[in-house]
Every structure is written in C-alpha cells, then in structure tokens.
Amino acid sequence: MNKVDKIRSQYQQKVKISAAGQHIFRDCLRAFWVGGAICAFGEALNAFYRFLGADVERSGLFTSVSLIFLACFFTAIGWFDEAARYAGAGTLVPITGFANAIASPAIDAKREGLVTGMGAKLFLVAGPVILYGTSLSVLYGLILYLLRLFGADLPEV
C-alpha cells in the first residue's frame, strides 16, 4: 500500500467515525420544531399587538422589534447559544438569527471598548449580508430600469 492509499484509508476511517455520531433525522426534527416555535411566537406577538389596537403595519413593526430585542437579550445572557446547540439551524429564523449575528460579536468585544471593540465588531458577520444585499438590490433596480426603458411591460413594484 503506497502512502496515498494509506492516507485515503485513514481519511475514510475518520469519515465513518464522524458520520456515525450524526443523527440527521433528530437534528432536522429539532430545527423544525424550534424554528416553528419561534415563528408561532412571532405570530402570537403579532396577534397580541393587533388585539391591543395596532394596525397591520404597526403590529408587524412591533413584532419585529420585539423579536430583535428578545434575540439580543437571550444572546447576551447565553440562552440563544444553548438553543442553537440544541436546535441548530432552527434558531436561524431570519430576524432572530440576524439579531444574534449582530449582537454576538459586539458582546464578545465589549472589553475592547465602545469604538474599537463593539463598534468595530458589530457588523463583523452582518456586514457582508448588508453589503451584498444592498449591491444586488441596486443591480436589480438597474436591470428593471433598463428593461422598462427599452419597452418591457413589467408590473409596478
């Protein structure tokens, strides 16, 4: 057996050991029910704000702000990380996952100061999302403008 075959064999053994400890069905089930619970809680908050008299737009706004606050709060006290270890991708429901992605690096860097620590690290993870989201929306708008300029009959957005 040459050296390459020996390395390949060792690698295959490590893959088998690693794959044996995975429980894909269990992990998917956990992600599904935790993510669903977060979404159901958001819907309950929305219904609560509507019950208090907020219109559709404001109840959505209040719900978003509440979910962001709660995600940052639970990140700060360490519960969000525990939930993420249990549920995996289930905690990445867009608004709570994004709030965690912003709050976590900032909380970790608070000892470095407000500007060089928290201020610099605040958008460590979220920065690329904002950059590419903004860039692609500008590109999309430019393509839409050019299509309309050349006579394409597109619905108004």
Q: How many folded domains does the chain comprise?
A: 1
> What is the per-residue pLDDT across 70-105, written as a single tens digit (0 to 9) for each?
999 999 898 998 998 898 888 888 788 888 888 887
* pLDDT at position 157: 64
Residue-number span of the structural domain to which 76 is assigned: 23-124
Note the pTM of the prediction, 2 decimals: 0.66
Task: Pull the structure tokens for residue 73.
Answer: 């709060």
Would you say residue 18 lies in a domain? no
List b or e across 39-67, with b for residues whose CB sees 16 or more CB atoms inside 10 angstroms. Answer: eebbeebbeebbeeebeeeebbebbeebb
Task: Pull the structure tokens for residue 107.
Answer: 């909380």
Would you say residue 5 lies in a domain? no
Tell the residue number behind the tokens 């940052």, with chain if given: 72
Please give the torsion angle defined by the CA atoms of residues 130, 134, 135 and 140, in that order, rounded to the nearest 10 degrees. Answer: 140
Would you say residue 146 lies in a domain? no
pLDDT of 19 higher than 70: no
Would you say residue 118 lies in a domain? yes
Distances (CA, A) of 12 to 17, 24, 57: 9, 20, 54
